[in-house]
A and B are shown apart, each in its own frame.
Chain A
Amino acid sequence: QLQLQESGSGLVKPSQTLSLTCAVSGGSISSGGYSWSWIRQPPGKGLEWIGYIYHSGSTYYNPSLKSRVTISVDRSKNQFSLKLSSVTAADTAVYYCARARDGSEFDPWGQGTLVTVSS
Chain B
Amino acid sequence: SYVLTQPPSVSVAPGQTARITCGGNNIGSKSVHWYQQKPGQAPVLVVYDDSDRPSGIPERFSGSNSGNTATLTISRVEAGDEADYYCQVWDSSSDPVVFGGGTKLTVL
Contact = CB atoms under 8 A, between A and B. Distances in A.
Contacts of A37: 97
Nearest to B101: A46
Contacts, number: 57
Classify chain B's interface size.
20 to 34
B6 to A, nearest CB: 9
A104 interface: yes
Contact of B43 (A47, A60, A62, A63): A47
Closest 7 CB pairs of A and B: A49-B97, A105-B48, A105-B33, A107-B45, A109-B42, A47-B99, A46-B102
Classify chain A's interface size.
20 to 34
A80 interface: no
Contacts of A110: 42
B51 interface: no
B96 A106 contact: no
